[in-house]
Amino acid sequence: MNADLRTRLGALRLPNPVVTAAGCAGSGRELSQFFDIGEIGAVTTKSLMLEPRAGRPAPRMAETPSGMLSTTGMQGPGVDVFLQRDLPWLLSRGGRAIVSIAGSGVAEFGELARRVSEAEGVGAIEVNLSCPDPADPAGRHFADDAAQAATVVQTVRSHARSDVPVLAKLAADVPDVVELAGACVAARADGLTMVNTLRGMSVDTRTLRPAVAGGMGGLSGPAIRPLAVGCVYRVHEAFPEVPIIGVGGVRTGTDVLEFMAAGASAVGVGTVNFSDPSACARVLREFTEALEARGVSRASDVVGAAHRPGTGV
């Protein structure tokens, strides 16, 4: 049996549900020497900003139990370099692009959305809401306030081309992830990505100093997967028609199966790429084998299975 792996994220149709998570694969070039980048559903790019950024000083990453703490400071060449150099390269290799954007303010999100959606070959825009809001005196992230998150999403949607889906990337360490999701959907997000890294800290016990520059960082990896699956489950239960990319600690094909049963239509592979750069291809193969072993002929039949009585499929 050859399972039908096709999935949809609003208007975006993908050949299979395995995508890269933003920030863990650049724009695909780094992984292309290990597998055919066109084989997976899509590459979600590292978050783009309007201008080039050097990011935070080293150290930027630290290993933690069952995970990784990172704080890059949105390092990158800026949107113009991406559009002129990286996007054409990705498309020339048969890849599909979900472009993550990160603005330093609401207006910047809108300008990024306009520029990115004007480019040919952009499959969707992912809105990184885990950016500090410069208008907030406490420096909170946009995702910390549902109303502010909705303002960003509404701005992106109004500036993006109508046929380019807008996906709001949600944080888990917020007061109410379902409320946040609802606000973004009401602001015309076409789908959701969840979850982003969780804010955390690690102290180097040799120096008794923070293990990463700036003290706090984003926690990713297997340690956060149960929390991420729970968020996907709750949001799918509240908004079953809204497509979700599930992200958080995915290492195997059965992890993809778990996220999809919770309600995800696609699943992002992230931190594992740093230790196994061929992980996306392996995870896709394992997911296909898992479907076939269970006699499931279509991947889309698994979506939301954990919400259904009996076996769910």
Give the DSSP letter string of 227-281: HHHHHHHHHHHH-TTS-EEEESS--SHHHHHHHHHHT-SEEEE-THHHH-TTHHH
Number of Cβ within a 10 Å radius of residue 275: 10
Is residue 131 among the annotated active site residues?
Answer: yes
Distance between CA atoms of residues 175 and 302, nearest Å:
29
Ranges of the chain whose pLDDT falls below 50: none
Cβ burial 105-133 (10 Å sphere, 16+ → b, else e):
bbebbbbbbebbbebeebbbbbbbbbbeb
Which pLDDT score is estimated for 310? 75
What percent of the chain clears pLDDT 70, i.e. is strictly above it? Answer: 98
Tokens of 228: 């991420």
Q: Give me the catalytic one of 131, 184, 231, 280.
A: 131
Per-residue confidence (pLDDT) for residue 114, from 0 to 100? 98
pLDDT for the residue numbered 311: 61
Q: What's this model's pTM, rounded to 2 decimal places?
A: 0.96
Look at residue 47 in the predicted model and tell me its pLDDT: 95
